[in-house]
Amino acid sequence: MGHVEAELVSEVSSIQPGQPFWVGLHLSMDEHWHVYWRNPGDAGLPPKITWDLPDGFSAGQINWPYPDRFVVPPLTSFGYYGDVLLPVQITPADDVAPGTTVQLAAHAEWLVCKEACIPGETDLTLGLPVTAEAPGFNGDWADRFNDTRTRLPVRATDWTARASVDESTITLTLAAPEWHTDSLQGVHFFPYDKGVIANAADQVVTTTADGYTLRIERFRNATGEPEQIAGVLVAESGWRGPGSEKALAIEAPVGEPPAAATAAASSETFGIWKALLFAFVGGMILNLMPCVLPVLSLKILGFVNKANESRSSALSHGLVFTLGVLLSFLALAAALLILRAGGEQLGWGFQLQSPVFLVILSSFIFLFGLSLLGVFEIGTSLTAVGAQSQKGGGWGGSFLNGVTATVVATPCTAPFMGSALGFSLAQPAWVALLIFAALGLGMAAPYVVLSASPALLKFVPKPGRWMETLKQIMGFLLLATVIWLAWVLGQQAGVNALGVLLLSLLVIGIAGWIYGRWGTLSVAMPKRGIAYALAGILLVGGVGFGLIGVNTFGTTMTTAATTSDGSITWEPYTPERYEQAVASDAPLFIDFTAAWCLSCKVNERVAFSSTEVQDRFEKLGVVALKADWTSRDDTITRALARYGRNSVPLYVLYRGESAEPIVLPEILTPGVVLDALSKVEG
């Protein structure tokens, strides 16, 4: 039955008039499928039982065993794998006649999930004889009820809990009983209500003088201060030692923060170090991203050129490259923090929202591409003219490689670093700068390792004709990047701005050709000097024409018009349309995207182009809004901030006016979208 077998079972084989007894809804799931707890977490729906009982009978609430966590980044849900028994106490009528058989009827509903989620429901019945004697236990199920009771939370008696709440953190302080001498292990808090904690965040436990402190990240959209924090505390070690009960039900009143700040400071420091570690790893991943691939050409050529130099020389180039990356990241971070402090609404990758920046970056990369294709050579003539050593000129190139890698790579950080960057911008400035520095150091780390290790550099092939071929191939990759940047500019400022950029690049290309044709050492000095001057004039003129022309002839793009993607009709996002859609009963899906966001475009091609996804959007009557962040748009930035984000992609699904939004992962597949949509059905 849709990956779930459901049955109504009893702990006893018969019942007595007026004497309460236990029955349960037993759900048995297929392998790797799960159902949900009373608070499903970030996604899901809990099982539900609607009773149809004989006159005079009454049913209590479901008793929920403590759940497991299901982590599908960035979402975390709570529920049960395999099978679960959900006990309910039934109280029969006092006047039910012995010798008769009563029929208990219930309508059960659930949501079962694996990669997809399937709602299920069924009608169940259970017949039980009524006797005057004490009932006997049902041999098939009595042991299972006892096992389930070991997973039911017990009320805290010896343990005392209190809570304190600030804008971002919930702190639970547990005072241990005097007899408690063991150390708690595997502690985790499951709140009864949604929207209390950030379900996916780590929960940090520290030991205090009289017990323990548990620090939990608060739900990002939570407002106000609750009167109490209620839920289940699970300790894998048991609350009375090994083999004892693992779940403790607490209702901790919210009061002043605990006086001891040592544990809190320790936890906060741990969180910062963890953020720095993730930022460093994320920086290393950037070397594999499509945005960085063209820049890898410069680094690969650097490896080859440094292979025949001394260890100290190669290491110097690696450190200078690192300096270029690090200073670039810090400069971008500082600019972002300064603008935010001045009230600007900006996000990571904001430099690609500026047409002027796109012109400068396109010109810069276009020149590098022409150089790699052999139109001109950078370094040889300038070294002779400036009487600089080859070593010094090489350092300048390594530094520029680091700068180039940074400015081109930052748009690729969103899929992997969006949450970390959002966290950093919510921290004090020094913490944010440290996180950006760790991101830059992670990006530069592979280059430094290769340049510093002679054992690794020995594996670089010897110079030969293949180097020229490799250089030209990488040149074409740089030109492909220019095409992408030109397309982004066209999306922002229109076809006229795109034409201005192409003319600007033509003039820049002529400047490079003149420099390469008559600016070499083999040309006599008077003619070479004229070539330098003419190339310089054309270069400055080309870039200047692009900068002035893109503002003069470019068109300020208005909010995108309604578009159609198969069966999905995308409306432009506006605050008014958002409020109207949220207030309606129809499901609402918001796609925060940008033309320069490669992950966004891949998601559109992979997920939203799926016929099955399009059909489901149409069937459910989903209102689809596209929040286009290609150009700087304060409205979209404020909307992103509502969900604690400052980067794209972001996908949000609303199930109705009163429901919490579902935030989808940043990397989409048709299954991910269909799984989310299944939660709004029924």
What is the side-by-side strand order in the sheet with 588-593?
Answer: 563-565, 568-572, 623-628, 588-593, 650-654, 662-663
pLDDT at 330 over 80: yes
Higher-pLDDT residue of 306, 244: 244
The H helix count followed by the E strand count for the chain is 17, 24
- Distance CA(88)–CA(12), nearest Å, equals 13
Residue 540: pLDDT band by 50, 70, 90 thresholds? very high
Query: What is the per-residue pLDDT across 595-613, written as a single tens digit (0 to 9) for each?
Result: 767 667 778 888 888 889 9
Query: Looking only at Cα atoms, what is the longest distance across the chain?
Result: 120
CA angle 74–76–79, rounded 5-degree value: 160
* Fold category of 4-152 in CATH: Immunoglobulin-like (2.60.40)
* CATH code matching the domain that covers 155-260, chosen among 2.60.40, 1.10.150, 3.90.1420, 3.40.30: 2.60.40
| pLDDT at residue 266 is higher than 50 | no
Bridge partners, 71 (sequence order): 76
Please tell me which residue, 637 or 580, carries the higher pLDDT value: 580
pLDDT per residue as tens digits for the range 344-358: 444 445 556 667 777
Residues 226 and 196: beta-carbon distance below 8 Å? yes
Name the pLDDT band for 656 (thresholds 50, 70, 90): low
pLDDT band for position 521 (50/70/90)? confident
- Answer whether residue 75 shows pLDDT above 90: no
For residue 210, the SS3 value is coil
Q: Which residues pair with 662 in a beta bridge?
A: 653
Question: Residue 650: beta bridge partners?
Answer: 592
pLDDT at position 405 is: 66
Angle at 539 between CA 535 and CA 545, to 5 degrees: 140
pLDDT category of residue 525 using cuts at 50, 70 and 90:
confident
User: For the chain, how big is the Rg over CA atoms in Å?
Assistant: 32
β partners of residue 398: none
Q: Which of 106-120, 228-242, 283-297, 374-388 has the lowest mean pLDDT?
A: 374-388
In the block, residue with structure tokens 């209500």: 193
Token match 């008014």: residue? 576
pLDDT band at 379, cuts 50/70/90?
A: very low
SS3 of 547-613: the string is HHHHHHHCCCCCCCCCEEECCEEEEECCHHHHHHHHHCCCCEEEEEECCCCHHHHHHHHHHHCCHHH
The token pair that represents 377 in the structure block? 């050579």
As a whole number, mean pLDDT of residues 470-490 equals 80
User: So what's the pLDDT on residue 588?
Assistant: 92
Report the alpha-carbon distance of residue 43 to residue 48 in Å, rounded. Answer: 16
Q: Which amino acid is at 80?
A: Y
Least confident range of 13-22, 155-164, 269-278, 511-520: 269-278
Per the CB < 8 A criterion, the answer to whether 563 and 571 are in contact is no
Q: Averaging pLDDT over each range in 96-100, 277-281, 334-338, which range is the top one?
A: 96-100
Whether the per-residue pLDDT at 234 is higher than 90: the answer is: yes
Q: Would you state the structure tokens that stand for residue 547, as one six-digit string?
A: 């900068």
Instruction: Name the least confident of 87-101, 287-301, 449-463.
Output: 287-301
Average pLDDT of the chain, as a whole number: 79
Helix, strand or coil, per DSSP, at residue 503: helix
What is the rounded distance in angstroms from the CA atom of residue 154 to the CA atom of residue 39?
18
Tell me the per-residue pLDDT of 389-433, one tens digit each, with 9 for 90 and over: 333 346 776 777 777 667 655 544 444 444 455 555 545 667 778
* CB-based burial label for 221 (10 Å; 0-12, 13-18, 19+): exposed
Residue 664 DSSP SS3: coil
| For residues 43-57, average pLDDT | 93
Does 614 have pLDDT greater than 70?
yes
Answer for the pair 587, 623: CB distance below 8 angstroms, yes or no: yes
Answer yes or no: are the C-beta atoms of 65 and 100 closer than 8 Å.
Answer: no
User: What integer is the mean pLDDT of 571-590?
Assistant: 87
For residues 626-635, average pLDDT? 78
Return d(Cα 150, Cα 362) in angstroms, integer: 65
Where are any strands of DSSP class E within 30-116? Answer: 34-41, 48-52, 58-59, 68-72, 75-81, 83-91, 101-113
Residue bearing tokens 């208005």: 558
Q: Where are the domains of the chain?
A: 4-152, 155-260, 273-553, 563-678
**224 to each of 168, 173, 268, 679, how far by Cα in Å?**
11, 20, 22, 28
pLDDT at 106: 96
More confident residue, 490 or 611: 611
Tokens, residue 614 = 């399009």
Tell me what pLDDT residue 108 has.
95
Q: Name the DSSP class of 350.
A: G
pLDDT digits (tens, 9 = 90+) for 307-324: 555 556 667 777 887 888
Whether the domain at 4-152 and the domain at 155-260 fall into the same CATH topology:
yes
Q: What is the pLDDT of residues 102-133, one digit of tens each?
A: 999 999 999 988 877 788 899 999 999 999 88
The encoded tokens of residue 175 equal 């005072």
Write the DSSP string, 614-644: HHHHHHHT-EEEEEE-SS--HHHHHHHHHTT
- The whole-number pLDDT of residue 462 equals 59
pLDDT for 310 equals 58
Strand partners, 25: 8, 86
In this predicted model, what pLDDT tens digit does every residue of 456-466 receive, in sequence order? 655 655 556 76
DSSP assignment letter at 255: -
| Res 87: pLDDT | 95
Q: Could you tell me the pLDDT band of residue 505, with boundaries at 50, 70 and 90?
A: very high
- Over residues 69-88, mean pLDDT: 89
Rounded distance, CA 651 to CA 85, Å?
A: 35
- Better-predicted residue by pLDDT, 625 or 440: 625
Write down the pLDDT at residue 107. 95
Q: Dihedral sign, CA of 71, 72, 77, 78?
A: negative
With a CB cutoff of 8 Å and minimum separation 6, the contacts of 93 are 17, 18, 54, 55, 56, 57
**Class for domain 563-678, per CATH?**
alpha beta
